[in-house]
Amino acid sequence: MNNESPHNNYRLSIRFTPGGFSLSVYDKVINSLISTKKQSLDLLNLNENQLLDALESQSEFKQTFSDLRLIIESECYSTIPEAFYTNENAENILKFQYPELSTSQSILKNDLIAWNATIVFAVHKPLESVLKSMFPEIPIEHHLFALINDEIPLSGKSAIYVFLRTEKLDLILLEEGQLSLVNSFRFDTNEDVLYHIMNVYENKMLSKETCELTIFNPNKELEHLLLTYIHNIKFRN
């Protein structure tokens, strides 16, 4: 990125999924989204030159931003408590959970320092190589690392956080302020979302009165459905 059009108060966030990437510009002063656009690409089947061309063709790279984030949605991940983490067992745990992992994927990690845990995740090697060559000083973040750091406050309370993506939901449970569960589920209907949430309440024997649920990006129909069963709930967009 050069100095043609400086945006010193703006942050550029690039989010990668298997189906492409999005570029979002935020005003850091008012903490607001200014613009966003999506590029549809089959990222997992592109080589380094094709990925580089796709990224460098974006007009945002002709501008200067005060901050840049690289976020990757990877379904192959594991959250490991600090007490059990070593580089060797982290890789073994991930491969045990996802035996389909191939040599075309790199294994990266993000340390959740405040939560005494580490997220280990798989990334398409050509994408990792391109990002490290273009932005050598910018860390690659797993999408849950970004969500936990950005959206979940430290507290001593028990709470459930649900983040809705396209056909996926990420569910994070805190018990007395400690990370107890970090998992992702596929869903097709609002009823599927309700099922996964209620399953956590029941299996963990959590009180729906005291364990608050916060859900991000729900539609109106889902809001009405959840309120039928859970009253201690917040909706976020």
Q: What is the pLDDT of residues 107-127, one digit of tens each?
A: 999 999 999 999 999 999 999
pLDDT of residue 4: 45
What does the radius of gyration of the chain's CA atoms come to, in whole angstroms?
19
Residues 114 and 223 in one domain: no
Structural domain for 16, as ranges: 1-151
Which two tokens mark 190?
């609002």
Residue 63 has pLDDT above 90, yes or no: no
**Residue 164: alpha-carbon gap to chain centroid:** 10
Give strand ranges (E) for 18-113. Answer: 20-27, 32-40, 63-72, 77-81, 105-112
The total number of structural domains in the chain stands at 2
Residues 137 and 46 in one domain: yes
Average pLDDT, the chain: 92
pLDDT in tens, 159-168: 999 999 999 9
Residues 69 and 28 in one domain: yes
CA distances from 223 to 84, 92, 117, 147, 227 (A): 38, 40, 31, 21, 6
